[in-house]
Each structure stands twice: as structure tokens, then as C-alpha cells.
Amino acid sequence: MEPGPRGLGRCRCCFWLAVAFDTVGLLVLLLGVFVNVFFYDLLIYAGAIVIFLSLIWWVFWYSGNIEVPPAELEDDVGLLKKNKDGLRGIGGAVRRLSSRVSTGIRNSFRRNGAPSGRAQKSAPGPPQTRQVTVAMATMAPDISVSPEADCEVEMPHITT
């Protein structure tokens, strides 16, 4: 007979942290509600936030105690049973093809960005650089000020 997890399960630390966060959050929230202090709203919000953060520990505790039989994990995490003759059928062919393609792509990224996994060798020496000259000019808009108007500016007509 195997000793299984009893009571709180395997993740006791997460359970007790969740209980502590809930207790502290509830105490702070109730202090904010029932104690007459000028920062009661801060206590109410802080208590609610601490209670919300306890959900993280509850999720950790729950998900850490989920038990899945190894038979159900075979297909999901790559624990497939291999036949004596190796991989067979369409599934085996697809796996081999997928493995080759992913290995080829992985290798092509590792080797200086060369296509299909072959690294291109360059001649020794300083790297080739080109200098590009860009001419830029400042253009002022054509603004005319009429002498009759004080400080009124006529903007040029722009068509789009």
C-alpha cells in the first residue's frame, strides 16, 4: 500500500500562505470598515487587494495537487511507447519530417543567418561599409502679412 498525500496534499506551503493572506486581508478590511480612522479607505482597499492576492496561492495549491495517471500523459507530453520496429505509419512519417524541418530551421538561425544551415565564409579583413549622404534643406512656408490687419496671418491655400 502506497502512502498517498493526506489532508492538505503535497503543497502545504502554498495552502498555509493562502490561509495567511486571507486572514490578514480580512483583518485589514474589517479594520477599515469598523475602526474610526481617517485612512479607513486605504485599509479597505489594501485588505481587498491582499485577499485578491491570496487567490494566487490557492491556484498554486490546487494545481499542485492535481494528479494525472501516467497513461493519460503518454500522448500529451511525448511519453509515447515506441514499437519494436520504431515509428510506423503516417504518424511516424509526420514526426520524422517535423523533426527534420525544425532541426534545419534551428540550425539555420545558429549559423550567421546563412540559408539551409550552411554558413557562408567571407574573406578576412575589415567589414565593408558604405557611406550614404542625405541632403536636407529647411523650407519656410510662404506666409504673407497684410498691412491693414494687426497681427493677422494669412495662411497659403493648401490642396490635398
30: left (phi over 0), alpha (psi -120 to 50) or beta: alpha
Cα 94 to Cα 100: distance, rounded to the nearest angstrom: 10
The listed range with the strongest mean pLDDT (17-26, 88-97, 121-130) is 17-26
Q: What is the mean pLDDT of residues 2-14?
A: 75
Residue 18 neighbours by CB under 8 Å, 6+ apart: 54, 57, 58, 60, 61
Q: Which residues lie closer than 8 Å to 145 by C-beta, 6 or more apart?
A: 152, 153, 154
pLDDT at 60: 94
The dihedral formed by the CA atoms of 84, 90, 95 and 98, expressed in degrees to the nearest 10 = 160
For residue 69, which of 57, 77, 58, 59 has the smallest C-alpha distance? 77
Secondary structure of 15-63 as H, E, C letters: HHHHHHHHHHHHHHHHHHHHCCCCCHHHHHHHHHHHHHHHHHHHHHHHH
Q: How far apart are CA 101 and CA 87, in angstroms?
A: 17
Contact call for residues 87 and 96 (beta carbons, < 8 A):
yes
Whether the pTM exceeds 0.85: the reply is no
Average pLDDT, the chain: 77
* 28 neighbors 43 (Cβ within 8 angstroms): yes
12-34 and 40-64 helices, crossing angle to 10°: 160
- 21: its cell numbers: 493572506
Q: What is the pLDDT of residues 17-69, one digit of tens each?
A: 999 999 999 999 999 999 999 999 999 999 999 999 999 999 999 999 988 77
